[in-house]
A and B are shown apart, each in its own frame.
Chain A
């Protein structure tokens, strides 16, 4: 994978729900090696931006992924919806293997597919759980299995919608570290999240959305400015650079928030 190659390009990109634009003329480019945190208050349009970019939602403007055939797109971008759905009692290994769907030939999973599944299981520490029934796992374990599924897809771009919601602190940190490591290997990751502290620590770039628009795009330090925080999130925060990396802690509510 060429580091820095563009994996997602949105230009004048809008998604409407009825007449109302939920994503409003967004232009955005994401390249390999970036771990992009997509932040914004509830209803800012984060989910719609990602789903629209994949072509799952009808949209206007240009979205590079949506222009591909479904199969090519599925090899270019993996998507982890927020809902953690596992309909049938499949094993963890089977579940992760589903991530290979876009790569499968007529004969089913081959050696390359199995290797990819092994890598994903290993990265998420699921080795001991591989034969367990996914629907009987704890919430955190299930979330890890679903992330492993997306990893097994081995796409240049991974998009995840609030993947750390509902995880315990260790699970949240581990998940963000996996995303950051993926970026370090040249993949691009776009992850929406509400924990600004984790976003500040693990993302190389933040995109802040409000009312369907991108209102800030840059390094965490640039985006999490007091002015932006107050205008978009209605909070003030403590932001410091320590030996352990950036520390960000919202402190109180400003204005009508």
Chain B
């Protein structure tokens, strides 16, 4: 049964990534409207056979911050991989009770070791409620039924939408700081991040290079995604966005071969086999890889947290 839960949860993460479309960019990322997360991995919705209700996207995304006057919550539970990491980075000792089990999985979480210090939840309303939290942190694509139930039980639930830009990362960190009453720590994180990013910004006048994001099933995030923002910060043009495509989508292998990008960003295969990942071993791709550098995107590419600096650094290293 463990395997079942695991696979379906990972799919949910993948789907979340798939659903990180134009939203953030189109809305202009006003302060307080935070987007979260753009996983490198993606499974198309139809492929996964997963239905995710979009019903509460709007409501969750526009929930405004609470301001500084409210006393900081003392019992915080997070049930979303990205809020898990934001919260772990900012929470005061003892403030954060539990994070989702995905946060402890080194394949999807950049803070797996830290997560081991927290109680891990399976994102079920029942177990969350029994922890008696005074704040529940979730993603806008968390199970709407679970969130609705928690709200009906009188719990305060704050949702974070997927982050699609570096500006969005800053906003998410600051919002999390406000929610946890840790504004100072949040501001320090943002400053640290900005310094690091400035150091990674390529000098002006360098010729533009093209990178192709290429994941299982040929998934390749276009413009208006966190992965696209990471490439841009390191001075790369995203092949999938070159045709003006935004959000989730696939890149035909033919187009990748024809474009001959200088870098291919892809993922390490998971254990066990899947037909979706078989495409990463296609002979035509191997041909391209002879002339291109291959970068494996890790968990730092998944969520809109200060960890994205590592992703940008990874790209800057192959610039």
Direct contact between the two chains A and B in their complex (CB within 8 A): no
